[in-house]
C-alpha cells in the first residue's frame, strides 16, 4: 500500500512514524507548500517523492491512499480533490471548519464508495473501548447521567512552551489566524469521547464560551487573543440521559487530561486518560451498595492508523468515519449559536 502524507507539521510526524512501522505500507510521497520543510520531513522519514502542491502529487498519481494532515481550513479542498481522484483518506480532526463543509465531504466520500476515516486519536485508548463495550453489554443499565472533561493547562504552565512568544500556540488563541478556540481544537475530541463511550447520539446542546484577558488589550503583536479559552455544555442524549461536558486551557495541574464518567441504573464507569496513561474503573454489582470502585484491565486495541489500513485492504468502512465527524461538527456549530443566543438548540434539522 503506497501512502501519501499531505502536510508535514508536528502531527504529520506521528502519521509517518505510525504508518512507517506497518508491514506492507510504504511512505512514497509527501506534500507541503514549503520546499525546505517537505525536504526535511521526507529526509527524516525516508520518503522519496516530494511535492509542493497536491496537484503535483495527483498528476504523479503513484500512491494508493492519503493521510491529510494539513491545517484545519485546508482539510475540505484537499480532501475533496483526493476523493475526486478515488483515493481513500485518513483526515485529521476536525473534518472541516463547519458542518456544511464536513457534510459535503461525507456525502462525496460515500458517493465515491471510498474508505474514509477521521483521526480522532482518543479512539486509540483501550480504556475507552472497554468502557463502551461494558455499556453496550448493558452491565451498568441504561445511562442516565454523563460527565466529561478535557483539561489542559498550557495557558498557566510552560510545560509545552511559552504561548506568549511561540506562534505555534499564539495562533490557537486568535480567530483571525483560523482558530475556533478550545471548542474547535479539542471540542470534537471530548464530544466523541463522551458520545462514543456511551454509545449515544446527541439531541440537544446548550453551550457557554469564555474568552479571558491574557495580555494588555488582549493582543500580542499581530495576534488578537479573541478565541474562546473555556467552554461548558449541557447535552441531552438520544436515550434521555443528561450530560455535562466542559473543557479549558486554564486547568492548572492538568497538562492534558480527558475524563469520562457514566452513571446508569445498575452501575457507574469512569475513564481517565492523561500523559501518565489510562485507567478504567467501575462500580457495579454488589459494589454499588458501598460505593466501591474497581480498576479494570482494558487490554489493548489497534490504532486508528492500523484500522484505516485494514479497512482499505478489506474494503470495509471503519469508524470514526467522515459521517460521524460531520455529525459532531454539527454539535460544535450549534454550540456557537447556542452561546450567542443563550438558548438550547436541537441537532435535528428543522426542530
pLDDT tens figures, 224-278: 999 999 999 999 999 999 999 999 999 999 999 999 999 999 999 999 999 999 9
Within a domain: 325: no
- Do 175 and 268 lie in one domain? The reply is yes
Per-residue pLDDT, 12: 96
pLDDT at 72: 87
Question: Is 208 in the same domain as 104?
Answer: no
Query: Is residue 28 in some structural domain?
Result: yes
Q: Given this model, what pLDDT does residue 351 score?
A: 45
Could you list the residue range(s) of the whole structural domain that residue 80 is in?
2-121
Helices 99-112 and 75-84 sit at what angle, rounded to 10 degrees?
10
Looking at the domain assignment, is residue 287 inside a domain?
A: yes
Which of 75, 68, 24, 106 minimizes the C-alpha distance to 310? 24
User: For residue 347, what is its C-alpha cell?
Assistant: 441537532
CA distance 62 to 29: 9
Q: For 104-132, what is each residue's pLDDT tens digit?
A: 999 999 999 999 999 999 999 999 999 99
Mean pLDDT in residue range 185-198? 96
Residue 82 shares a structural domain with residue 151: no
User: How many angstroms separate the Cα of 215 from the Cα of each of 58, 274, 303?
Assistant: 45, 29, 40
Secondary structure of residue 280 in the 3-state scheme: strand
Sign, CA torsion 166/255/74/245: negative
pTM of this structure: 0.91
On whether both 45 and 164 belong to a single domain, the answer is no
Q: Establish if 324 belongs to a structural domain.
A: no
Looking at residue 234, which CATH number applies to its domain?
3.30.360.10
Evaluate the CA torsion angle 226, 229, 234, 237 in order and state its sign. positive
Residue 350 has pLDDT above 80, yes or no: no
Same domain? 289 vs 212: yes
Structural domain count of the chain: 2
Region 22-41 average pLDDT = 97
Instruction: Give the model's pLDDT for residue 178.
Output: 80
Per the DSSP assignment, residues forming a β-bridge with 223 are 220
Q: How far apart are CA 351 and CA 72, in angstroms?
A: 29
Asked whether 321 and 106 are in contact (CB, 8 A), the reply is yes
Evaluate whether residue 339 is within a structural domain: no
Amino acid at each position: 500500500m503506497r501512502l501519501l502524507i499531505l502536510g508535514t507539521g508536528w502531527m504529520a510526524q506521528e502519521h509517518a512514524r505510525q504508518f512507517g512501522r506497518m508491514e506492507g505500507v510504504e511512505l512514497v510521497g509527501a506534500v507541503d507548500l514549503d520546499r525546505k520543510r517537505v525536504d526535511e520531513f521526507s529526509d527524516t522519514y525516508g520518503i522519496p517523492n516530494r511535492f509542493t502542491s497536491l496537484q503535483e502529487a495527483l498528476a504523479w498519481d503513484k500512491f494508493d491512499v492519503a493521510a491529510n494532515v494539513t491545517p484545519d481550513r485546508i482539510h475540505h479542498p484537499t480532501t475533496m480533490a483526493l476523493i475526486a481522484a478515488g483515493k481513500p483518506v485518513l483526515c485529521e480532526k476536525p473534518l472541516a471548519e463547519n458542518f456544511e463543509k464536513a457534510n459535503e465531504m461525507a456525502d462525496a466520500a460515500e458517493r465515491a464508495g471510498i474508505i474514509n476515516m477521521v483521526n480522532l486519536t482518543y479512539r486509540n485508548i483501550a480504556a475507552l473501548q472497554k468502557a463502551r463495550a461494558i455499556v453496550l453489554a448493558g452491565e451498568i443499565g441504561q445511562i442516565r447521567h454523563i460527565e466529561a472533561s478535557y483539561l489542559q493547562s498550557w495557558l498557566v504552565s510552560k510545560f509545552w512552551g511559552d504561548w506568549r512568544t511561540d506562534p505555534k500556540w499564539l495562533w490557537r488563541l486568535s480567530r483571525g489566524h483560523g482558530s475556533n478556540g478550545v471548542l474547535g481544537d479539542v471540542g470534537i475530541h471530548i464530544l466523541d469521547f463522551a458520545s462514543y463511550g456511551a454509545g449515544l447520539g446527541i439531541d440537544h446542546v446548550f453551550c457557554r464560551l469564555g474568552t479571558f484577558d491574557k495580555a494588555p488589550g488582549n493582543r500580542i503583536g499581530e495576534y488578537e487573543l479573541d478565541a474562546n479559552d473555556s467552554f461548558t455544555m449541557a447535552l441531552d442524549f438520544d436515550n434521555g440521559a443528561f450530560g455535562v461536558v466542559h473543557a479549558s486551557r486554564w486547568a492548572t495541574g492538568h497538562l492534558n487530561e480527558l475524563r469520562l464518567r457514566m452513571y446508569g441504573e445498575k452501575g457507574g464507569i469512569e475513564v481517565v486518560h492523561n500523559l501518565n496513561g489510562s485507567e478504567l474503573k467501575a462500580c457495579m454489582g454488589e459494589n454499588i451498595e458501598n460505593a466501591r470502585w474497581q480498576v479494570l484491565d482494558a487490554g489493548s486495541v489497534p490504532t486508528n492508523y492500523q484500522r484505516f489500513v485494514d479497512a482499505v485492504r478489506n474494503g470495509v468502512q471503519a469508524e470514526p468515519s467522515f459521517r460521524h465527524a460531520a455529525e459532531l461538527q454539527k454539535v460544535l456549530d450549534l454550540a456557537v449559536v447556542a452561546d450567542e443566543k443563550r438558548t438550547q438548540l436541537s441537532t435535528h434539522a428543522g426542530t
